[in-house]
Amino acid sequence: MNDMPLVDLIQRGGALRDIAGNTPKEVLDCFIQNIHLPASLTADVLLEAVLERESLMATSIGGGIAIPHPRNPLLLEENEQFIAIAFLKRTVEWQALDGVPVQNVILLVSSSARAHLHSLSRVHFLCQEEAFRSLLAEKASKEEIIKAVGVIEKEWREKAAP
């Protein structure tokens, strides 16, 4: 299986603005209800799986970012995987270790445990990149985010090349 570039996953999932909610549950419900999902997945199933994972441990990673995701793969096909980004209408307390309320949510949905772990790791590294964090803070367009992620992924490949 080839690992799908983050650019492709974000292209499929998109970026949504002004997602409402005063709690992580409210935010996730509003976010998931507004995502274009593959036919094999309903919003109710995705929300239940994400909330189940969230109940184990908050998915905020600090810096105003949360990366909610189901514990188990929910999609049948690799080409259905996606990453969706939400810019919240207002910041939300999300039990972040750094105490910073969440303003950006990056939802990751995969078709296999391997793809999930690989994508989750790359998203976490992406969130350490100043250029990406700046785009989130600016509530950049989907196109700007995809362009920047493409540049970052290219840099990663070049650093990894022998």
Q: Quick one: which H or E segment has residue 82?
A: strand 82-92
Q: What distances in angstroms separate CA 32 from CA 2, 37, 131, one per listed residue? A: 27, 9, 26
139: CB partners within 8 A, 6+ apart: 17, 87
For the residues 64-74, what does the mean pLDDT come to? Answer: 96
**Per-residue confidence at 139, pLDDT binned at 50, 70, 90?**
very high
Q: Which residue has the tokens 């540049």?
A: 151
For the residues 73-81, what does the mean pLDDT come to? Answer: 93
pLDDT at 160 exceeding the cut of 90: no
pLDDT at 13 exceeding the cut of 60: yes
**Per-residue confidence at 4, pLDDT binned at 50, 70, 90?**
confident
How many residues can be counted in the chain?
Answer: 162
3-state secondary structure of 109: strand
Q: Dmax over Cα atoms in the chain, in whole Å?
A: 48
Domains present along the chain, CATH in parentheses: 6-160 (3.40.930.10)
Phi-psi map region of 56: left, alpha, beta (phi>0 left; psi -120 to 50 alpha): alpha
Q: What is the pLDDT of residue 30?
A: 98
Return the closest-CA partner of residue 80 out of 50, 48, 40, 53. Answer: 40
Which amino acid, 74?
L
Distance CA 24, CA 88 (A): 11
pTM (2 decimals)? 0.95
The pLDDT > 90 percentage for the chain reads: 93
